[in-house]
């Protein structure tokens, strides 16, 4: 097997093999578990960086295994796949460091980190999938690997959240499975191709292909948290903070959003999706989800539930951007994979820091916490302004490109959706910032832990500061070569090339 064939498999194995070993480690083997976790994450990031560097020079990496005639399992490098796997590899390393600090004294750590590693394997596999069948396989593996993390605490509430999560995601997976094999029965192929694969089959089959599109989008839309398929996400917030970060910034919802991009660009093609009116319909659903998520966030008193509904809203910027039919908007949607990931993972890290250090879960208990944990809340403040869309944060770049793209596409109504969304974002984030920085601190905190004079554990604080700084940097330096925005613009431009 050549390196060109082996490298995609090595990227998957760099998290899968450590995870399988971690499962059998006794709980007391903290050093070995930490070494495997960090080592696997570093190796994965290194391999992805190598693949990106070689792909820029024109090297193509692909592993293909035939299952049946015309049905292959394919993992390969592509500009869009590398964009997503690069994000997941970087944030997984950061999240692993955070999770080790967060779960330092908790039970069942080997079980947790074993499934944690399988999740990153499934995410990387979905990112590198070369056809819809391979994407479906890793999409379903992600469901099964994430369930034990959602129910990790073992409480009645956690088990209920797990049942809700499985009901939604297995149902969504069934829809994707039906749509996938129905599509194969028409096209005879499931390959991801620039411009899609369905154009030659539209004549006489428009209604059937539209029905398949609805099945695929509805099934993938469960993980992408499109309204009304979002109900599992706020419920799953009972999980530990590293799992929440995993769900919202690195794996589950991102695989959903990435899957929508693949269906529109690589399966149907933007011209067919627009010609059949399918992209426009998805844009409307995305706009409704953006406003609904923000309105629901306004009503929340629990910090993690507020952030969950914020994710419901923010994630649909991706679907909206790729549905508008112009490269500028598509670039804004694609780059939001990175922008939302950096901002949202920071916010969930902060929620975890507050819970672990001071026992804070409710917004009312955050009065004056900025004076007790200034670095943590500075990171929160930066990313809250980013979610609102304040320059020069990453969120502003996303909304600017979506707005310009909407005008170019003749969909000026989208600009009003973006304005309303920003106002709603401000309405639920600014009151939190006011009580954090300007209200008097409470006399005592719900459950304060002592970290030797530091505001919290360094293994919790450093990942939080890193991702907050990255969220600022990708906004400040968005126009530089090789920035996430420039990469997203390249991907979007290729989708519309003649």
Q: What is the pLDDT of residues 264-297, one digit of tens each?
A: 999 999 999 999 999 999 999 999 999 999 999 9
Cα separation, 49 vs 57, whole angstroms? 13
Contact between 76 and 62 (Cβ < 8 Å): yes
Q: What length is written for the chain?
A: 498
248 pLDDT band (50/70/90 cuts)? low
Cα separation, 372 vs 151, whole angstroms? 31
Phi, psi (deg, nearest 5) at residue 61: -115, 130
Contact between 388 and 429 (Cβ < 8 Å): yes
Q: Is the pLDDT of residue 42 over 80?
A: yes
Q: Is the pLDDT of residue 497 over 70?
A: no
pLDDT in tens, 126-143: 999 999 999 999 999 999
396 CB contacts (<8 Å, ≥6 apart)?
A: 386, 389, 390, 475
198 burial type by CB count under 10 A (0-12 exposed, 13-18 middle, 19+ buried): buried
> How many Cα atoms occupy the beta-carbon half-sphere of 432 within 13 Å?
31
Between residues 363 and 68, the one the model is more confident about? 363
Contact between 321 and 314 (Cβ < 8 Å): no
Cα separation, 463 vs 395, whole angstroms? 20
| Tokens found for residue 422 | 């920003």
Cα separation, 133 vs 121, whole angstroms? 16
Contact between 268 and 195 (Cβ < 8 Å): no
How much is the average pLDDT of 436-449? 85
**Which H or E run includes 414?**
helix 413-437
Residue with tokens 């310009």: 404
Nearest Cα to Cα of residue 48 among 88, 98, 2: 88
Pairing of strands 62-68, 71-76: antiparallel
How much is the average pLDDT of 443-468? 86
pLDDT of residue 99: 87
pLDDT of residue 107: 72
Nearest Cα to Cα of residue 200 among 217, 188, 215: 188
Q: What is the pLDDT of the chain when averaged over all its residues?
A: 91
Cα separation, 115 vs 117, whole angstroms? 5
Contact between 395 and 403 (Cβ < 8 Å): no
pLDDT in tens, 296-325: 999 999 999 999 999 999 999 999 999 999
CA angle 106, 152, 92 (to 5 degrees): 85
Q: Is 122 helix (H, G, I), strand (E, B) or coil?
A: helix
pLDDT of residue 314: 93
161 CB contacts (<8 Å, ≥6 apart)?
A: 150, 151, 235, 236, 237, 238, 239
pLDDT of residue 452: 72
- In sequence order, what DSSP letters do the residues of 366-413 get, joined into one string? GTTHHHHSHHHHHHHHHHHHHHHT-TTSHHHHHHHHHHHHHHHTT-TH
Contact between 262 and 194 (Cβ < 8 Å): no
Between residues 336 and 441, the one the model is more confident about? 336
How much is the average pLDDT of 112-126? 91
pLDDT of residue 157: 84
Q: Is the pLDDT of residue 247 over 80?
A: no
How much is the average pLDDT of 424-435? 96
Nearest Cα to Cα of residue 429 among 347, 346, 373: 347
- Strand (E) positions, 55-184? 62-68, 71-76
Contact between 154 and 226 (Cβ < 8 Å): no
How much is the average pLDDT of 211-218? 97
Q: Is the dihedral of CA 371, 373, 374, 378 positive or negative?
A: negative
281 CB contacts (<8 Å, ≥6 apart)?
A: none
Q: Determine which of 24-28, 216-220, 430-434 has the lowest per-residue pLDDT on average.
A: 24-28
> How many Cα atoms occupy the beta-carbon half-sphere of 328 within 13 Å?
14
> How many Cα atoms occupy the beta-carbon half-sphere of 344 within 13 Å?
29
Nearest Cα to Cα of residue 378 among 423, 344, 347: 347
Q: Is 60 helix (H, G, I), strand (E, B) or coil?
A: coil
| Residues above pLDDT 70, as percent of the chain | 98
Q: Determine which of 2-11, 175-184, 200-209, 388-397 has the lowest per-residue pLDDT on average.
A: 2-11
456 pLDDT band (50/70/90 cuts)? confident
Q: Is 78 helix (H, G, I), strand (E, B) or coil?
A: coil
Q: Tell me the whole-structure pTM to 2 decimals.
A: 0.94
DSSP state of 106: -
């Amino acid at each position: 097997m050549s390196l060109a064939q082996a490298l995609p498999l090595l990227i998957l194995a760099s998290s899968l093999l450590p995870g399988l070993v971690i499962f059998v480690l006794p709980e007391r083997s903290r050093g070995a578990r930490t070494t495997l976790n960090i080592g696997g994450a570093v190796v994965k990031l290194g391999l992805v960086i190598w693949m990106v560097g070689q792909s820029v020079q024109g090297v193509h990496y692909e592993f293909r295994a035939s299952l049946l005639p015309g049905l292959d399992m394919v993992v390969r490098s592509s500009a869009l796949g590398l964009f997503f796997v690069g994000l997941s590899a970087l944030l997984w390393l950061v999240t692993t460091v955070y999770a080790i600090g967060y779960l330092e004294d908790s039970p069942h750590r080997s079980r947790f980190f074993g499934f944690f590693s399988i999740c990153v394997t499934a995410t990387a596999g979905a990112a590198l999938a070369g056809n819809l069948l391979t994407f479906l396989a890793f999409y379903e593996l992600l469901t099964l690997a994430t369930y034990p993390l959602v129910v990790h605490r073992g409480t009645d509430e956690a088990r209920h959240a797990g049942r809700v999560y499985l009901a939604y995601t297995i149902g969504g997976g069934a829809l994707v499975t039906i749509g996938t094999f129905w599509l194969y029965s028409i096209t005879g192929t499931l390959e991801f191709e620039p411009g899609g694969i369905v154009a030659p089959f539209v004549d006489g089959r428009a209604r059937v292909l539209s029905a398949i599109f609805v099945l695929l989008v509805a099934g993938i839309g469960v993980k992408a948290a499109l309204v009304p398929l979002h109900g599992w996400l706020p419920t799953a917030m009972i999980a530990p903070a590293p799992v929440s970060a995993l769900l919202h910034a690195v794996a589950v919802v991102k695989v959903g959003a990435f899957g929508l991009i693949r269906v529109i660009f690589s399966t149907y093609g933007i011209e067919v999706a627009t010609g059949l009116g399918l992209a426009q319909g998805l844009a409307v659903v995305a706009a409704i989800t953006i406003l609904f998520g923000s309105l629901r966030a306004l009503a929340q008193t629990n910090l993690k539930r507020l952030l969950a509904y914020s994710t419901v809203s923010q994630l649909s910027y991706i679907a909206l951007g790729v549905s508008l039919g112009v490269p500028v908007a598509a670039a804004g949607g694609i780059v939001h994979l990175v922008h939302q990931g950096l901002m949202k993972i920071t916010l969930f890290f902060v929620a975890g820091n507050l819970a672990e250090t001071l026992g804070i879960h409710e917004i009312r208990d955050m009065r004056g916490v900025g004076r007790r944990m200034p670095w943590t809340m500075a990171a929160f403040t930066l990313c809250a302004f980013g979610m609102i869309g304040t320059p020069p944060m990453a969120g502003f770049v996303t909304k600017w490109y979506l707005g310009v793209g909407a005008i170019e596409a003749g969909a000026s109504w989208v600009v009003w959706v973006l304005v309303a969304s920003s106002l709603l974002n401000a309405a639920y984030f600014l009151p939190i910032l006011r009580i954090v920085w300007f209200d008097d601190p409470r006399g005592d905190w719900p459950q304060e832990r002592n970290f030797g004079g530091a505001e919290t554990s360094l293994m919790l604080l450093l990942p939080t500061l890193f991702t907050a700084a990255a969220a600022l940097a990708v906004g400040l330096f968005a126009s530089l070569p090789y920035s996430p925005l420039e990469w997203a613009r390249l991907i979007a431009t290729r989708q519309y090339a003649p």
